[in-house]
Amino acid sequence: MLQLFKHQLREQMRSALWQKSLVINIFLAILAVYFCLNFIAIGLFADKYILEFYPKGDVVEVFTRMLFYYFTLDLIFRFLFQPIPKLAIQPYLTLPIKKAKLLRYPILKSSFSFFNIMALLMFLPFYFKTVLSANSPGFSFIWIVTVLVLVATNNYLNFSLKKYFSKKPLLIFLFLLLIVVLLYLDYLKVLSLSDYFLYAFYFVCNSPILVVIPLAIMLLSYFGAYLMLKKNAYIEDVGVNKSRATNSFSFLDKYGEIGQLLRLEIKLIFRNKRPKSLFYTSCFFLLYGFMFYANDTWEGSFMYSLCAIFLTSNLALFHGQYMYMWDSSFFDVYLANNVSTYNYIKAKYLLLSIGCVICFVLTLPYIFFDYQIAYLHLAFVLYNVGVSTVLMLYIGTYNKSFIDLGKGQFMNYEGTGAAQFLLMLPIMGFPFVIYQFLKLIDLLDFYYLIIGAIGVLAIVFHNQLLQLVLNQFEKRKSIMAVEFRKK
C-alpha cells in the first residue's frame, strides 16, 4: 500500500502540469497555508467567539451543537467538491496485485483530502485548549474520538453518495432540498435536530461503551464505499451504463440541427466531471437568497438587484463563463464539419436561456419572504435571457484556454482568466447604472419595469443580437482554435 502512495506522489511531481505551472503551484501553496491558518485560528479562538454570542452558555456544549450544522454542510460540500481518486489505480489492473488492495487504496487515499485535514486543524486545537481543560480525561477522549469518527464517516459516505446520486440530478436536488428543509426547521425550532444531536453526542461521551455506535456507523460507511467500488470495478460495466444513457434527450433531435446541438450541450454537462460538478455547485448556490431576502437590512437597495441577477442566471452564469472552452477538446470538429455557425451559437443561447428560466422557477419560493420578489425575479430573468446570455456568448469569444472535461472543479483553475471577471462588469454594471440614474431623478418605482422592458426588447431582437455574436465569432474562431490546441 505504501508503494502505491509513493507511485502516486512521484506521478504528480513528474507531471508536466506540476513542472510548467510554477506560478500556479506557488499560488495554491500560499492559498493552502492561508486556509490552514484560518482553520487553526477558528479552533483556537472558538471559545471566545462563542462566549460573545452565548455569554451564559457552556462553550463545549454550544460548540458540540454547532457540529450538527458543520457535519451536515460538510457532507454537502464533500459531495460537490471532493474528488474520488478512482482513475489512479488503472495502471495496476494488469499487475499481480490483489484487487482488494487496489480497491482499498482510493478509500484510504481520500483520508488525506482537504476536508479531513482542515477538520483536524480546527478540532484538535479546540480540543486541547477548551475540551480537555474543562472536562474529565475520559469524557474529553470520547469527545474527540467521536468527532474524528464522524469526520471519517462523512469521508467514506461521500463515495456512496457520488455513486448513487451523480447520475440522477433529480435525486441530488431532492437530497439538497431535504437538507435545507431540515436545517430551516431546526432554525425555527420546529424540529430541533441540533438538540437531538447534542443529546446523543453527550450520551455517548458519558457512556464510553456506546462509542461503538459511531464506530459501527463509520465501519458501515467504509464497507459501503468498498462494496460500491468492488461492484463498479469492471470497465465493461461502465460501458453498459454509458450505452444505456445514449438515448437521453433524444426528443430534441426532431428540432433539426439546433436541437441536435442543444442535445450535445446537455449531454456534455452530465457526462463529464468538470461541467457536471459545476452544475451541482450552481444548484447549491440557489440558496444564496436566504442571505439577503431573510435580512431586511438590504431591502430596497441595489443588493436586492445583485441577488436577483445572480439567482435568475445562476445555472447559465456558472456554465457561460467558460463558453466555447467546454468544446476546446473537439472545437476543430465543429470547424471541419458542415455545421451551421449560427445554429451552433443559437443552441448555446437556448441552453443559457433555459438555465435562466429553470433558476427563475426554482427560486419562486422566495416570494414567501416578500411577494414583490416575484416581480423582481421576473424582471431580471427577462434581462438575463435577453441581455446576459448574449453577453456571455460575445465575451466568451475571448476565452482561449483548453479545459480538460475529465477533471474535477475543486481547486481547478484551468480556463480561468480575465474574461470571467470582465463578464461580470456589463452583466451587473448595466443595471447598476440604471438604478443610480433612476435614483438620482427619483424614479426608482419604475426600475423593475425598465429592466424587464430592456429584457423583452433584447428577446424580441435576439436574432439581430446573435448576428453580432456570429460576426465576432467568425473573427475569433481561428485564434480560439489555435489556442485550444495548446493543451
pLDDT along the chain (487 residues), means of 10: 60 53 65 85 88 84 90 82 62 70 77 87 91 88 92 87 66 73 77 87 88 90 83 54 52 80 86 81 77 66 82 87 85 82 90 91 82 86 92 87 69 58 79 87 86 92 91 88 79
Asked if 355 and 315 touch (Cβ cutoff 8 Å), the reply is yes
* Cell numbers given for 250: 433524444
332 membership: H or E segment, kind and range: helix 331-336
Q: Which of 230, 282, 268, 272 is nearest to 105 (CA)?
A: 230
Q: What integer pLDDT is reported at residue 407 of this predicted model?
A: 64
Q: What integer pLDDT is reported at residue 436 of this predicted model?
A: 87
End-to-end CA distance of the chain: 33
Say what angle helices 418-440 and 302-312 make with each other, to 10 degrees: 140
- The CA dihedral of 397, 399, 405, 409, to the nearest 10 degrees, is -130
Residues 202 and 273: their CA atoms lie apart, in Å, by: 40
Residues 62 and 131: their CA atoms lie apart, in Å, by: 12
Q: Which of 79, 217, 272 is nearest to 159 (CA)?
A: 79
- The CA dihedral of 169, 172, 173, 176, to the nearest 10 degrees, is -160
Residues 210 and 201: their CA atoms lie apart, in Å, by: 10
Q: Which of 314, 302, 308 is nearest to 289 (CA)?
A: 308
Which letter does DSSP use for residue 295 in this model? -
Q: Rg of the chain's alpha carbons, rounded to an integer?
A: 25
Q: What integer pLDDT is reported at residue 331 of this predicted model?
A: 82
Asked if 398 and 419 touch (Cβ cutoff 8 Å), the reply is yes
Asked if 311 and 388 touch (Cβ cutoff 8 Å), the reply is no
**Residue for grid cell 424582471:** 379
Helices and strands (DSSP H and E) totals, the chain = 24, 0
Q: Which residues contact 46 (CB under 8 A, 6 or more apart)?
A: 59, 63, 126, 130
Side-chain half-sphere exposure of 300, counting CA atoms within 13 A: 5
Q: Which of 401, 398, 396 is nearest to 427 (CA)?
A: 396
* Cell numbers given for 73: 454542510
Sign (positive or negative) of CA dihedral 387, 389, 393, 399: positive
Q: What integer pLDDT is reported at residue 90 of this predicted model?
A: 61
* Cell numbers given for 118: 482542515
Q: What integer pLDDT is reported at residue 188 of this predicted model?
A: 74
Q: Which residues contact 473 (CB under 8 A, 6 or more apart)?
A: 341, 345, 397
* Cell numbers given for 245: 444513457
Q: Which residues contact 359 (CB under 8 A, 6 or more apart)?
A: 286, 311, 312, 313, 314, 315, 316, 381
Give the Å distances, CA to CA, from 403 to 8, 274, 329, 364. 23, 9, 7, 34
Q: What is the pTM of this model?
A: 0.62
**Residue for grid cell 467546454:** 326
Residues in the chain, total: 487
Give the Å distances, CA to CA, from 77 to 67, 73, 74, 438. 15, 6, 5, 41
Asked if 399 and 417 touch (Cβ cutoff 8 Å), the reply is yes
Tell me the one-letter amino acid at 397.
T
Could you give the 3-state DSSP secondary structure of residue 337? Answer: coil
* Cell numbers given for 130: 477548551
